[in-house]
């Protein structure tokens, strides 16, 4: 243990002694989660998360290096120092906050359930509460370890849940009728799926689900604990971006509606 | 990063919930694969080029492409075609379980047929010639002389293939199946503790491999009980 502390302080001393010019931060994201973080056909990184990361970098004066990482390894990779920041549409949750720190939210966090139009599903009562019996016998797709998965496990313990590593494979299985319903990010579902030919036969079969208990206050930038100075700089930059309308502008680049917390009106 | 040894112990029983499915995939695909392998072997040894070439092409394709790619083609590729979804096979192909079984069986069949062919090639030609001289029919020579000896020769390589299959079942986790690796990946995603959980999974796989190895070495001893040692 003493050895470890000694080692850590040596490393810290070395890091502090290193010249600080041209500081580079490595940013972890999936790189396949359009329109939040993805590669354009030209190979450029683009998306709302990327814009936010660039906006932060510009304001705090650092260079960015993008690291592509699958969703289920995102948090362990941050902890293992594979990168310094998560800017990957990660919702701020209590459970995650035990492991890492989050900035203030830069986007709303919400889920909605997709289902086939022809199935005529009524899964929620008039008050917007799920009806557990209605979910019986339905195969319910969700991304592993997502806030959506936590919500299902807590709210619908009897559901027949199928876990996916990514959004894309889940939507493929919804189309091929391996799944009856799937819960996902409504903004993404709207842009990539419902507004496209592939998603023509599908619709939202739930109201927006955004209980703070599971979905948290929104999506934030994640970083390892103990980086309070950096966290402070990021928070200041984000507050600035909310105030000067940059986040609003980034939203409207990708969506016909705003997705920053102050201006969320829902998709419909 | 902290390392929590107790997490290994507490995750073992949860990962073991996937053991049934892992063994099920292993047993069903091994069996189906073996049947297909024998068929391909017979085609390969038939000496008729219209049977030999399809068998060779089959072996080339399934040994020449990654199992993961084969699984993805079956699972994600086939349903892209409307006629597949209308077909009588869809109830099977809809299920991730059957997609995994099909991919594993088709893949192992290619390897096993080559393993068996190695066994057949290894049988001393003099023995079959002696059988011929004694007036045994082709069928009798194949079932009473070549097959028993070939199986004996092929056993060590075949046990290797079974071990390899056990590990391949982990790929089923990529198509949503909750076999041991699928369960482990889900726990990792929830606990953010890859080391402890995957070490727990490693322990279970090693125990299983040990059982398979031991069983095969007993089978080898039994099959070679007439062969004098030393």
String of DSSP letters for chain A: -HHHHHHHHHHHHHHHHS--TT-EEEEEE-SEETTTEEE-TTS-EESHHHHHHHHHHHHHT-EEEEEE--GGGHHHHHHTTS-SEE-SS-B--HHHHTTEEE-S-SB---BEEEEESTT----B-TTS-B-GGGGTT-EEEEETTSHHHHHHHHH-TTSEEEEES-HHHHHHHHHTTS-SEEEE-HHHHIIIIITSGGGTTEEE-S--B--HHHH-S-B--EEETT-HHHHHHHHHHHHHHHHTTHHHHHHHHH-SS--SGGG-----
Q: Is B52 in contact with B44 (CB distance < 8 Å)? A: yes
User: Per DSSP, what are the bridge partners of residue A184?
Assistant: A112
pLDDT score, position A167: 86
Q: Is B26 in contact with B215 (CB distance < 8 Å)? A: no
CA distance A100 to A168: 27
Instruction: Decide whether A21-108+217-263 matches A112-214 in CATH topology.
Output: yes
Q: Domain boundaries in chain B?
A: 5-223
Q: Domain boundaries in chain A?
A: 21-108+217-263, 112-214
pLDDT score, position A8: 62
Interface of A with B (CB under 8 A): 72-73, 75-76, 79-80, 99, 144-145, 162-165, 169, 172-173, 175-178
Nearest by CB to residue A144, choosing from B76, B79, B185, is: B185
Strand A100-102 with A160-164, pairing: unpaired
- pLDDT per position as a tens digit, A207-259: 888 888 888 889 999 999 999 999 999 999 999 999 999 999 998 898 877 78
Contact B189 A144 (CB under 8 A): yes
Fold of B5-223: MetI-like fold (1.10.3720)
Contact A99 B1 (CB under 8 A): no
Average pLDDT for consecutive 10-residue bins of chain B (230 residues)? 83 95 98 98 95 97 97 92 88 94 98 97 94 94 94 94 97 95 92 91 97 95 80
User: What strands lie across the sheet with A85-86, from one edge to the other?
Assistant: A63-68, A24-29, A85-86, A222-224, A100-102
pLDDT score, position A164: 93
Fold of A21-108+217-263: D-Maltodextrin-Binding Protein; domain 2 (3.40.190)
Interface of B with A (CB under 8 A): 1, 76, 79-80, 85, 94-96, 174, 176, 178, 182, 185-186, 188-190, 192-194
For the question of whether the overall pTM of this predicted structure is more than 0.80, the answer is: no
ipTM, 2 dp: 0.77
pLDDT score, position B71: 96
List chain A residues with pLDDT less than 50. Answer: 19
**Count of positions (residues) in chain A:** 268
CATH architecture of A112-214: 3-Layer(aba) Sandwich (3.40)
Mutation target to probe the A interface, by most A beta carbons within 10 A, among B182, B189, B198, B199 is B189
From A208's Cα to the closest Cα of chain B, the distance in A is: 24
């Amino acid at each position: 243990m003493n050895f470890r502390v000694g080692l850590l302080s040596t490393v810290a001393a070395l890091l502090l002694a290193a010249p600080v010019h041209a500081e580079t931060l490595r940013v972890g994201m999936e790189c396949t989660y359009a329109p939040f973080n993805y590669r354009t056909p030209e190979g450029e990184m683009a998306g709302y998360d990327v814009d936010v990361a660039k906006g932060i970098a510009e304001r705090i004066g650092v260079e960015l290096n993008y690291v592509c990482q699958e969703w289920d390894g995102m948090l362990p990779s941050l902890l293992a120092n594979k990168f310094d920041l998560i800017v990957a549409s990660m919702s701020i949750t209590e459970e995650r906050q035990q492991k890492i720190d989050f900035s203030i939210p830069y986007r709303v966090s919400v889920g909605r359930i997709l289902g086939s139009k022809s199935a005529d599903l009524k899964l929620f009562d008039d008050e917007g509460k799920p009806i557990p019996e209605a979910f019986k016998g339905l195969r319910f797709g969700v991304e592993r370890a997502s806030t959506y998965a936590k919500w299902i496990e807590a709210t619908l313990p009897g559901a027949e849940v199928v876990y996916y590593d990514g959004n894309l494979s889940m939507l493929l299985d919804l189309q091929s009728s391996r799944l009856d319903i799937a819960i996902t990010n409504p903004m993404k579902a709207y842009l990539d799926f419902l507004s496209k030919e592939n998603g023509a036969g599908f619709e939202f079969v739930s109201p927006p689900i955004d209980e703070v208990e599971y979905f948290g206050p929104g999506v934030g930038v994640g970083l390892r604990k103990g980086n309070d100075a950096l966290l402070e700089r990021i928070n200041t930059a984000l507050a600035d971006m909310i105030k000067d309308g940059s986040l609003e502008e980034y939203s409207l680049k990708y969506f016909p509606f705003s997705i920053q917390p102050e201006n969320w009106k829902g998709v419909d | 990063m902290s390392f929590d040894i107790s997490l290994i112990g507490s995750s073992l029983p949860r990962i073991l919930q996937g053991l049934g499915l892992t063994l099920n995939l292993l047993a069903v695909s091994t069996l189906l694969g073996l049947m297909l392998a024998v068929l391909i072997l017979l085609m390969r040894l038939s000496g008729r080029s219209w049977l030999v070439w399809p068998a060779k092409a089959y072996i080339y394709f399934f040994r020449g492409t990654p199992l993961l790619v084969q699984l993805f083609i079956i699972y994600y590729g086939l349903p892209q075609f409307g006629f597949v979804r209308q077909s009588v096979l869809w109830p099977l192909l809809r299920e991730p379980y059957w997609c995994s079984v099909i991919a594993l069986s088709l893949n192992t069949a290619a390897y096993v047929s080559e393993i068996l062919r190695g066994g057949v090639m290894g049988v001393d030609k003099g023995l079959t010639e002696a059988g011929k001289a004694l007036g045994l029919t082709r069928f009798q020579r194949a079932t009473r002389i070549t097959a028993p000896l070939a199986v004996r020769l092929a056993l060590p390589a075949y046990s290797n293939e079974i071990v390899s299959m056990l590990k391949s079942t982990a790929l089923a986790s990529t198509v949503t199946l909750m076999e041991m690796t699928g369960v482990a990946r889900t726990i990792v995603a929830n606990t953010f503790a890859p080391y402890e959980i995957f070490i727990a999974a490693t322990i279970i796989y090693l125990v299983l491999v040990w059982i398979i190895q031991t069983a095969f070495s007993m089978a080898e001893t039994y099959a070679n009980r007439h062969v004098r040692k030393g």
